[in-house]
Amino acid sequence: MTKQDTSASVTFSDLGISKSIIDTLLLKGYEYPTPIQVQTIPLFLKGESNIIGQAQTGTGKTAAFGVPIIQNITQKTGHVQAIVLTPTRELAIQVCDEMSSFGGIRNLTILPVFGGQPITIQLRALSQGADIIVGTPGRVIDLIHRKRLDLSHLSYFVLDEADEMLNMGFIDDIKEIIQHTNDEKRMLCFSATMPKPILGIAKKYMGDYEMVTVEKVTEGALTEQLSIDVPPSLKFEALCRVIDSDPEFYGLVFCARKDTSDDIVQRLEERGYDADVIHGDILQEQRLRIMERFRKQKLRILVATDVAARGIDVNELTHVVNYDIPQDPESYTHRIGRTGRAGKKGIAITLLTPSDFRKFAFIKKIAGFDVRRVELPDANQVAEMNREKLRHDLTVLINSDFVDTDAADPFLEFAKSLQNENRDADDVIACLLKKAYENRILARNDDKQLDEMFAQIHKKNQNRDSEYGRRGDGGRDRNRSGDRYGKGSRDGKDSRGDRSDGKKSWSKSKDEGRDERRGYVVKKDDGKKYAKKDSAGRSNKDFATKRIENKKAMTGSKK
């Protein structure tokens, strides 16, 4: 088992990749190989050993195993030659698309198989033959049991995101699938972490293997993390302002609940934004269509819950917006890790209402991130940015070949007709801009009113530090008692409500509070419990007895 070194100046041609595939990679925008590709591809192409690769999501693992597999499969054999197992259907589709794009002019059939789609469609595709299968464990086992998928002639077996498959309970499925494969195959396992069950599979089924690792890069390292204080009633307005502040906005908006997600998308669409939603109630077929649009950037805004967003892996995202704060530090890390990938910078923005401050302080502290609190850009700033964007787009269009093509003729004729009506050209342009872009390039009065409200919120909270309080973690001065969430007990008091000077505090003990709720009071002189009574001398027990008697009378019970 060895650990490979990387070189910062390595090119794709240095890795032993064929020229046709390199040309395809360059067309896709790949300029230089990532560290995991530098380590894995030569080892794969030159040797015959099994490989375990440890690297995070978004580091180029798909190309690390996909490129050499595509290069090594030189002809069709009538059998499945490689299989890639992924934890989610979204990742299966993505890996399949990515590997297909590596092939260039190669006529390889790469077929995704996963649950949530009618199996008859996949059976029909399988009957026509496949060179490479990319699928989820459950559907692969189903096809094996139906005797429609033969894995006895494999050359390559790949586990992608192995730790995620372990977390989702697929470990037994993986073992069963391996047992249906031939011995004469190479195995590759990629995982962000290496828990014992994964290493156990490696030891049992892989025998000798080469280990390649990529130094862990903190998720969010290329992501600027910001938080914005907003009142609950203006949260949606703040989201719109965030979207409007960047004309190139292309991002994920995370919500805690499905109904919140639906509501946000409906309101965004009503305002003319190109948005859609995915959550647990969205049908699989519809979900796939939405994801296809989003990946092709035909959809600018995707609203999602944490569970539904599992498996979404899009490298070009400019923004992640936490409309609702995540449940824990791990979820926050995964959310913001969706942007700032492949060497590109991203922005993660969290909208914080007052009730979120303390929990978000805990999340930041545990996750170890520096989140900068900022104001929303005001309406005039947003309008100016949109004017610059429009000016740039028009300049590009004017300098292009558009005006010299037949497609421009109808627009030119209409433009001339407007000028023939003795209208000044500047007046015509101004009216067209008002008609088409008024809400984008001018600040509306209601936007200016929102500016004042947001500014007041920011000013009110500007002296509150990132841990919600000027005098230590958790806010007001406190003597910490090592509480898991940093709550502790109040200064001078222990958790039972007794003061350090021996006198009783104003707060009641836990036992006293429970006794009062049960209708008892403790006498100070003898310490005994007595039933608490009202002014008429009736206790809670009397009322309870009366209610039982009334119920028996109504039901006719003799008990």
Place of tokens 């973690």: 473
Rounded mean pLDDT, 514-541: 50
At residue 513, the pLDDT reads 45
Asked if residue 427 has pLDDT above 90, the reply is: no
At residue 1, the pLDDT reads 42
pLDDT in tens, 299-334: 999 999 887 776 677 878 999 999 999 887 777 887
How far is 195 from 168, CA to CA, in rounded Å? 14
How far is 211 from 473, CA to CA, in rounded Å? 42
Q: What pLDDT band is residue 159 in, cutting at 50, 70 and 90?
A: very high
CB 466: neighbour CB atoms within 10 A?
Answer: 16
Common-topology check for domains 12-213 and 223-377: yes
At residue 84, the pLDDT reads 98
Asked if residue 474 has pLDDT above 50, the reply is: no
Across 135-144, 162-171, 187-196, 221-230, the highest mean pLDDT is recorded for 135-144
Across 189-193, 250-254, 534-538, the highest mean pLDDT is recorded for 250-254
DSSP codes of every residue in 444-499: -HHHHHHHHHHHHHHHHHTTS-TTSSTTSTTSS-EE----TTS--EETTB-TTSBB
pLDDT in tens, 334-378: 788 888 876 678 999 999 999 999 889 888 887 788 899 998 888
How far is 301 from 323, CA to CA, in rounded Å? 13
Asked if residue 197 has pLDDT above 70, the reply is: yes
pLDDT in tens, 232-262: 999 999 999 999 888 889 999 999 999 999 9
497 vs 134, residue with greater confidence: 134
Cβ pair 372, 225 in contact under 8 A: yes
Residues paired with residue 48 on neighbouring β-strands, in sequence order: none
Asked if residue 77 has pLDDT above 80, the reply is: yes
State percent of the chain over pLDDT 70: 70
Across 34-43, 97-106, 135-144, 499-508, the highest mean pLDDT is recorded for 135-144
Distance, first Cα to last Cα, the chain: 76
Cβ pair 337, 219 in contact under 8 A: yes
Cβ pair 252, 338 in contact under 8 A: yes
At residue 448, the pLDDT reads 59
Q: What pLDDT band is residue 17 in, cutting at 50, 70 and 90?
A: very high
At residue 277, the pLDDT reads 95
Asked if residue 110 has pLDDT above 50, the reply is: yes
| Average pLDDT over the chain, rounded to an integer | 77
Q: What pLDDT band is residue 416 in, cutting at 50, 70 and 90?
A: confident
Asked if residue 141 has pLDDT above 50, the reply is: yes
* 383, amino acid identity: A
* CATH code reported for the domain at 12-213: 3.40.50.300
CA 331 vs CA 169, 184, 363: distances in Å: 19, 40, 9
Asked if residue 524 has pLDDT above 50, the reply is: no
Domain boundaries, the chain: 12-213, 223-377, 380-442, 505-559
Between 3.40.50.12280, 3.40.190.10, 3.40.50.300, 3.40.50.10470, what CATH number should domain 223-377 receive?
A: 3.40.50.300
At residue 499, the pLDDT reads 39
